[in-house]
Structure 1
Amino acid sequence: MIKTINILIGLLFTMNINATVLNFEDIKLDTPYVTLASIDQNEYAGFTWEHNWAVGNVSNNNYADAALSGSQYLSNFRADKNLTISANTPFDFDGVWIATPSLTNVAKWVSISAFDQYDQMIGTTGQVAVNQEYSWVAGIFDNVSYLTFTSDAFWYVLDDFTYNSASTSVPAPAPFAFLAFGLFGLTILKKKKVTH
């Protein structure tokens, strides 16, 4: 029982409750889709979006089911197989929802790789299979300067891009708190054994 309580308290210290979710609903569209660069939004939400990222609307016939939340989504315009999202200040990437639109030529997989300010790879998701059902692709990459999205070919869509400000401060107290709660639990167990 005490062990379970200690684990739960430790998890509370490590939970990320400050995540920001981009669902692209605040971008005004006059057409069914538009590239972020063409509407001078390549600096959208503090990120620089490579020129072939396009925000679309479900009013586009082949993309009627392309949005996970709301009616807008992000896609790889012109079926670009290699796209980048970067930031001037490091960020922690939690993940993104990925699917394919209702077309015949769609991506079979997408890979997300995270890099730091020195162009060193932080990590990669590897090739994640995608289809018309949205799948959460967790990145859990810290202190990211840019992300690369690579696909085998053709089209895919993203929604609810989730990130946080980078954790560049002193290491989180969670490991120390977890250790303290564990020692406290052992002390209680030892006292119980002595009295019995």
Structure 2
Amino acid sequence: MSSTNPHSDGNPDLIKYGKDTNGKDDVSVPPGALSIIWGNDQRYWKNIGDLTKNPDSAVAELIQVCWLEVTGSIKLKPEMKEKTYEVGFEVSLTPDAFGWSNSPVYIMGKRREKPIWRKMNLANNKGGIFNIPETPLIVAPPGDGGSDNDKVYFGLYEVWSGRWKGGLKIHKAFVREL
């Protein structure tokens, strides 16, 4: 994790395109494929497992930051472009997690120019792995068949409170067909 850049840039080669048990698209974005502000600075983040060699079992753990910004995107395959998807993150909190009670997180999803946001309080979720947001964050095709309809963007943010927070584990982001 040594780098002159304190921010980690996601490696899109780690993204896994698959299908769920009903044959719907299920894209898994491991932590190594996410861009994390301060992600290369061990004072703020640590990696559990190898983010590049064994991405399915790796976890990015937040030690402490006052600026939480985790983003990613997937390139849609041609057969995926006209479908509707939900985006989100699979996360957990460590037993000593702190700073979340008055610092809700915002989850963003978008296709093309208009983002959709969901606000969520993590303070009440201290047991095991859970998905955020709790209700599906839906990104639909733009409808005009434009040539730039080939990406889905998503993000996890808490940059407004200025408060320090820690103990968040990011297991993966996901993009799932509805």
TM range (shorter): 0.3 to 0.5
Q: TM-score, normalised by structure 2?
A: 0.48
Q: Which has the larger radius of gyration?
A: 1
Q: Which has the higher helix share?
A: 1
Q: Which has the higher strand share?
A: 2
Q: TM-score, normalised by structure 1?
A: 0.44
